[in-house]
Structure 1
Amino acid sequence: MILVTGGAGFIGSCLNATLQQRGLDTALVDRLGSDLKWRNIARHPPQRLLLPEQLDEFLGTTTQGGPGLDAVVHLGAISETTARDGDLVWQTNVALSQRLWSWCARQRVPFLYASSAATYGAAEGEGAFSDDPGRLDDLRPLNLYGWSKHAFDLWVRRQLESGAEAPPQWAGLKFFNVYGPNEYHKAGMISVVKVKHREVVAGLPARLFRSDRPGLADGAQARDFIWVGDVVDVLLWLLDTPSVSGLFNLGTGIARTYLDLAHAVSDAAGVGRQVAFVDMPEALRGQYQSYTCADMTRLRTAGYPGQFTSLEDGVRRYVQRLASNDPYL
């Protein structure tokens, strides 16, 4: 059985679907709430669905001879980049991650966890997005969410350097800009692809932020956009390759502009390309990354053989699913 925290969320539910297609049992930790989040797991209901407050009891039962766990994939977090409750973010994103790491170390269970490209903050230029653990001290996240992910990465490094017991396999993944189906519950944190699709199919121009950086053209802000299926493939490869441990970037290694993305969405939806530029909200100024691009050298060196989906192909697949009667995996 594989335990997936955040298992009814975006990446977690896509991973759950693929694990079950492999014939594996899953236990998911999440809150479905009263909205349509349950639709993310409707086609692939897990063997166990736990509320976060039930996790410690479940793990205690497991250590006492209950159903064994083959791995823990820890994706659950407060992921809003605008989060302000520092105590809640710490308890959820750092303290819980520490408890799971320690449990997996004691029980000899592989542990994969979600870090974030938000840990890089305002990094830019050649080598700025290197996932070399030796460069962790140089990172300056711009928001509470990114800082919390960075804090756990630093804690993991200290555990390893001190010789403390570690899980038999561990991997932290710095997700870049992930998009794809099953993200519909994310409200303000939904991917730009989905937001732009909503605009263009309504007959509106795709709205993009004006650049707030001198010398950078409007729409030229760039991100490393990665299709959720590629993220799942990397997670599965890690689960299948227990000899690989480490902190790794997870993007495509190619930065594409928001203008590229807007055009890809319009083309996939079969509508004319129209773009309108709007002022960046005051709350984002000074916290907005104008460029991200994952250095994928370390994951490739570790042996990952997969090819990443191009932005145009990923957007086309996503838009086709959005146009179907059931857009969920």
Structure 2
Amino acid sequence: MIIITGGAGFIGSFLQAELHARGEETVVVDWLGHEEKWRNLQLHAPSTMLSPADLDAFLSTDPPVRAVFHMGAISETTATDGDLVWRTNVTLSQRLWTWCAKREISFIYASSAATYGAAASMDAFSDIPAKLDSLRPLNLYGWSKHVFDQWVMRRIAKGEKAPPQWAGLKFFNVYGPNEYHKGKMISVIKVKFDEIRRGQSATLFRSDDPLIEDGHQARDFIWVGDVIAVMLWLLDHPEVSGLFNCGTGTARTYLDLTKAIFAALDVTPTVSFVDMPTALHGKYQNFTCADMSSLCDKGYDRQFTPLETGIERYIKDYLIAKTPYR
């Protein structure tokens, strides 16, 4: 049995689909709500569906679990309720870590590239544990993820009991199907796709850094299928533990991304720029790029999907297909 917290969400439901295809018994812990989030699971229902409020009672029965994928979190980079974020992103993660450690169960969890803050070069995006305490996240979400990473690494350094396998994955900018419920946190690819399909120009934020041209803010965009491939590889390699980046190792500009969407739709590019919202000033990462050497050194050798290929796949296989869900 495998537990997936946040298993009805974007990355969690894609993982659920792949585990379902493998014939695994899964327990998804999530809220479905009153919207269309259930559709993320419609093609691959879990063996058991639990509300987060019922998780502790379920764990108290000592179910036969062999791995926990902890994807559940408050992931809004604009979140402001510090108490709620702490309870959800830190305290719950600590409880699950401790439960897995006691019962010797693999624990793979979602960290975030938001932990890196305003790093400006690839050298700064190193997942070397010794650099962890020098990171300065720009928002509450990134800080909460950073706090748990630090909590984990302190326990490892002290030699305290840990899960037999543990892995924290610092996800970079993930895109792909099943993200439609995410509201303002949906990927920029889906947002620009919608603008273009409405016949509008694609709008991008003007740069708030005089050294960066408008549209040349750059991120490490990773296809969700590549993220899942990393997680399944870890599941299949229980001897591998650590805190790892999960990106492609290549930074691409928002102009690159926008042009790829136009190309996939066979539409002539038209791009306009708008001022960055005041709420994002000082909290916006103008550059991210994963140093993937740690994971590769552990033996991961699968190639990552180029941005243009991933965008074309997302649009043609999902966004304009009869069934946009994985």
CA distance in 1, matches of 2:173, 2:211: 24
For residues 21-76 of structure 1, give each alpha carbon's deviation from its aligned partner in whole angstroms, at most 9, with x where no partner exists: 01111100000000000000001010110000100111111x2xxx4011000000
User: Contact 1:201–1:271 (CA<8 Å) still a contact in 2?
Assistant: no
* 1:234 is aligned to 2:230: yes
Whether the aligned pair in 2 keeps the contact of 1:2 and 1:69 (CA below 8 Å) is yes
**Equivalent in the alignment of 1:322:** 319
User: C-alpha offsets along residues 188-232 of structure 1, whole Å, 9 cap, x if unaligned?
Assistant: 000000000000111111100001101211000000000000000
Q: Can you give the 5+ residue segments of structure 1 that lack an aligned partner in the other structure?
A: none
* 1:272 corresponds to 2:273: no
> Match for residue 97 of structure 2?
101
1:31-110 aligned within 5 A = 31-61=31-61, 63=62, 67-110=63-106
Counterpart CA distance in 1 for 2:228 and 2:155 is 27
- Code of the residue aligned with 2:178 in structure 1: it is N
User: 2:296 aligns to what?
Assistant: 300
TM-score (norm 2): 0.99
SS in 2 for 1:168: coil
Whichever residue aligns with residue 169 of structure 1, its letter is: Q
Partner of 1:282: 278
- 1:141-152 → structure 2 map (5 Å cutoff): 141-152=137-148
| Cα distance in 2, alignment partners of residues 87 and 221 from structure 1 | 32
RMSD: 0.6
Residues 122, 291 of structure 2: 8 Å contact kept:
no
1:6 aligns with 2:3: no
Give the equivalent residue in structure 2 for 1:247. Answer: 243
Partner of 2:97: helix, strand, or coil? helix
Q: 1:163: Cα distance to partner?
A: 1.6
Matches for 1:165-314 after TM superposition, within 5 Å: 165-314=161-310
Secondary structure of the residue aligned to 2:49 is strand
SS at match of 1:185: coil
Q: Distance in 2 between matches of 1:120 and 1:215?
A: 20
How far, CA to CA, are the matches of 1:216 and 1:89 in structure 2?
A: 32
Could you tell me how far 1:125 is from its partner in structure 2?
2.3
Does the 8 Å CA contact 2:30/2:52 hold for their aligned counterparts? yes
Letter in 1 for 2:156: L
Specify the SS of the correspondent of 2:68. Answer: strand
Aligned residues: 325
Corresponding residue SS for 1:49:
strand
Report the identity percentage.
Answer: 64
Provide the TM-score with structure 1 as the length reference: 0.98
Cα deviation, residue 126, structure 1: 4.4
Separation in structure 2 between the aligned mates of residue 33 and residue 168 of structure 1, nearest angstrom: 34
Letter in 2 for 1:31: W
Tell me, in whole angstroms, the C-alpha distance in 1 between the residues paired with 2:15 and 2:241. 19
Q: Counterparts of 1:300 and 1:170 in 2: how far apart (Å)? A: 17
Q: Does 1:137 align with 2:133?
A: yes
The 3-state SS of whatever aligns with 1:184 is: coil
The CA distance in 2 between the partners of 1:84 and 1:218, in whole Å, is 28
CA distance in 1, matches of 2:260, 2:253: 11
Report if aligned partners of 1:253, 1:296 keep a CA contact under 8 Å in 2.
Answer: yes
Divergent runs of 4+, >2 A? none
